[in-house]
Structures are given as C-alpha cells and as structure tokens.
Structure 1
C-alpha cells in the first residue's frame, strides 16, 4: 500500500483591474493589482513510464491558459467575478 503523497506546484502571475462593489473608500474606484498564483496538484501514484505525478509542461500550460483569460482584464466584467 502506497501512502506517500506527491505534490507538484507551478507558479505564474497576471495583472488585472477591479473595483470593490458597495465599498466606501478609494478601493471603490477602478484600480489594478499584480496577482501571484500558485497551483498545486497532489496524488499517491506516479506514472510507470516516467515516474512523474504529472508533466510540468501540462500543468504550466493549463495554468497559463486560465490566466490568459484574466490577464490585463477588468475583473468586474470577467466571469465569474462579474456577479
């Protein structure tokens, strides 16, 4: 029985703007941030051929694809933050 837990983490960042809804103060106005994102997957089994949990390229590509939908956007107009 394999009880070892493997973790793989990738990091990336993006820049976006937003305004806080129903907030009284400067942050109610449009302003921007640089966001740092960390994505971690974990599992108990490594692939037999490469002995990896998941290829870094697969995880990095997936994260980049998601962050492209947020980068240099107005988050208040971008799902799911538009609600």
Structure 2
C-alpha cells in the first residue's frame, strides 16, 4: 500500500460556542493541514497521484473556503462548532469529491495540538 501526504496551511479566526474557557473568545490560528491519499497501485508514472496536483487542489479548497475567514460565519460552522475536529471533517468532505482515494485529513492549530479525520 502506498500513501501520499501533502501539506498546506491557512490562517483564520473562530470562537467555540459554549466553551467555558478562553476558546469561547474570538481568536485565530495559523492552521496546518495534511491530506493523505492511499493506493494499492501506482499510476503509469509510478505515483499515487502527482503531488503538485494534489497540493494545488488542497490549497485551492482551503484558500477558497477557509483562509482569512471568520469560520463561525461559514454555513457548515453555523451548525457545527468550528473546532479543529470539525474543520478536518469539512476539508475531508470537500476534497473527497475531487480526490477519491483521500483517506485522512490532519489539522493542526498549533505544534502541540493535532486532529485527524479518517475515512470510516
């Protein structure tokens, strides 16, 4: 089994509704995102998929939907708190349509906090 990991990042603000600590206040992060594609076979070029193409797709989605946004105002996050967990799920759901062999999205809001959303 082969796995391709590609990273990107974005900056955004959010607040966690109902949180009893400081995360309830408006604040921001410089999030790091990693997308993971898996395949049992390589393509004719010997790759899972062209890494540059995957990076362009991931960056395009993140830049269009999340970068420099107030996440609480995005439709998905009006219904779901903009936690790192839900951000990972949002990215996974959006990219899965374009990257069918996507199996995992990791989102880090800091060097010490990392969340993973995996395909069931």
TM-based fold match above 0.5: yes
- The C-alpha deviation readout for 1:19-41, integer Å capped at 9, x for no partner, is 11012333212111111101010
Higher relative contact order at CA 8 Å, sep ≥6: structure 1 or structure 2? 1
Provide TM-score, normalisation by structure 1. Answer: 0.85
More helix by share: 2
Match of 1:67 in 2: 62
Q: Equivalents in 1 of 2:35, 2:75: separation in Å? A: 20
The alignment yields a C-alpha RMSD, in angstroms, of 1.2
Match of 1:18 in 2: 14
Is 2:70 the counterpart of 1:58? no
Q: Which ranges in structure 2 are unaligned for 5 or more consecutive residues?
A: 80-120
Provide TM-score, normalisation by structure 2. Answer: 0.61
Instruction: State the structure with more CA Rg.
Output: 1
- The C-alpha deviation readout for 1:51-80, integer Å capped at 9, x for no partner, is 111001221011001111100100101132
Q: Which ranges in structure 1 are unaligned for 5 or more consecutive residues?
A: none
After the TM superposition, which segments of 4 or more aligned residues of structure 1 sit over 4 Å from their partners? Answer: none
Is 2:23 the counterpart of 1:27? yes
